[in-house]
A and B are shown apart, each in its own frame.
Chain A
Amino acid sequence: MNVSTRFLINRLGKQCAFNRIVTYSTKSTEHAAANAVETEKEPKIKETTASTASEASIPIRKPVIPANYRFIYPEFLPDPKIEWRNPIREKLERMDMLDRRRQIDLPEFYVGSIMAVTSSDPHAEGKVSRFVGICIHRDRCGLRARFILRNVIDHQGIEVIYELYDPTIQKVEVLRLEKRLDDSLFYLRDALPEYSTFDENMEAEQLEEGAPVPVNDIKVVLRPRPWLERWERQNLRGVANIDQYLKDKHRQSARRVQKPWEKYDLMKQYRATIPEEEQNEIFAEVYAELHAQELQRKRNKRKRTFVKPKQLA
């Protein structure tokens, strides 16, 4: 193998690593921010190219898909498992999802956001149940997308799984839009209860338009063992005192099962993600509709934030 081919392969690998990003990761926020900056730059370039193109009388304009769509709408990307892929089903599901989104406002949220879900209750006629909690996990794709909310009510930890496209859900509110340091917060089950206690009458906090989603770098304090999972093996960043409860045997066994080489496994990454080209194809299909809904939401928000001035005298 001569030097030039080796160099080429290396570059190819780097490109692949850049293009393929795990669907449900919030860890690559810096990455995403960098991407966003790039896309901000891109439209200008595209505008200039478009202007030159219009001068050349070619009026075809492709919609510019924001790079952060895969974080805002991760459920539009199908499950990368090859045995479960079915392009027709995926397309039909996307249509159904858009149909549902026309009926109900499903806002952007992340693991770590505090949400309130209002759903109709079949067990109490004519009533609704509202549950407020922190989103500790988000999984599954398409119409089956779901998330888990957790809260401590009356000193009792409670978790509820909600399906995002469940027709019985009447309202999904995001009370505080933020991210945490980890991709799933199951360790809150073993943390002290104050870390998963949220007020039920919380007011929604407004974020400035165009501001990046803040990352809450709070470190939770765990209860002593026994735990529900072996947290020391999961490389958690949002836990403060994990080392306090570990003995040497735990550290050794954690070291034994570590797989530090996995991040270099291109094939594994390929199987676990949707390639960027395919993502663009999917989002190009739903972009117009989603963008229109976003604009509508912005308009509604402005309407809501307008407060009529009171007469003082």
Chain B
Amino acid sequence: MALRNLKSLGQLLLKQQIPQQQQQLIHTTPACCEIRKLARLRVVDNSDLGKRAMAEGRPPRCIHVYNKRGVGFIGDKVLVAIKGQMKKGILVGLKQKQKPKQPKFDSNNLVLIDDNGSPLGTRIHVPIPTILRTILKEKTQAKGADYTKVLAIASRYV
């Protein structure tokens, strides 16, 4: 009897969940072509946290951009809210219009890093622009965080 009850309860729960999911599908933020606060991003490395967040359909939100304009460009460091945590990340591909010879991507890509600049994952599974080589080298200071480790885990450059 108890088992049957449990089953019916589960079915009820399922029925309740379906309309909720549909609601979620309808209520989506429009694609933001500029990285500013509350812009949704796509994690492209294989870090556990990033993979889980993307699989759940709750991609991270940018909550701060570490530059003076407040708009993130390629190679900029951002603070993101991901699965209830705050993590730092580096933008490695943007939807925005780019200069000639620099690739424009179909999604806003992010690689998660820790405070020392070393990435949380071990692989980036999309191409990253070669200009990051120069940008990240410039941003790395002698005693500060070393961002060039992100370049080492890239699988491919464009």
Contacts and interface: CB of A to CB of B under 8 A. Distances in A.
B31 A226 contact: yes
Interface stretch (B1-9, B48-56, B60-68, B124-132): B124-132
Interface residues of A, number: 24
B100 A146 contact: yes
Interface in A160-209: 160-163, 166, 168, 189
Interface string A134-169: 000000000000100000011111111111001010
Contacts of A123: 130-134
B21 to A, nearest CB: 17
Interface of A is mostly: strand
A160 to B, nearest CB: 5
Contacts of B122: none
A102 B15 CA distance: 70
B133 A162 contact: no
Nearest to A131: B158
A153 B101 CA distance: 16
Given A124-B133, A124-B157, A156-B105, A163 B127 contact: no
Contacts of A166: 100-101
B158 A160 contact: yes
A38 interface: no
Interface in A254-300: none
A160 B104 contact: yes
Interface in A53-99: none
22 contacts: A119-B101, A123-B130, A123-B131, A123-B133, A123-B134, A124-B130, A124-B133, A131-B158, A154-B125, A154-B127, A156-B105, A156-B106, A157-B105, A157-B106, A158-B103, A158-B105, A161-B101, A161-B102, A162-B101, A166-B101, A168-B101, A226-B31
Interface of A: 119, 121-124, 129, 131, 146, 153-163, 166, 168, 189, 226, 228
Given A124-B157, A160-B104, 16 more contacts: A123-B131, A154-B125, A154-B126, A154-B156, A155-B126, A156-B105, A156-B106, A157-B106, A157-B107, A159-B103, A159-B106, A160-B103, A161-B98, A161-B99, A168-B101, A226-B31
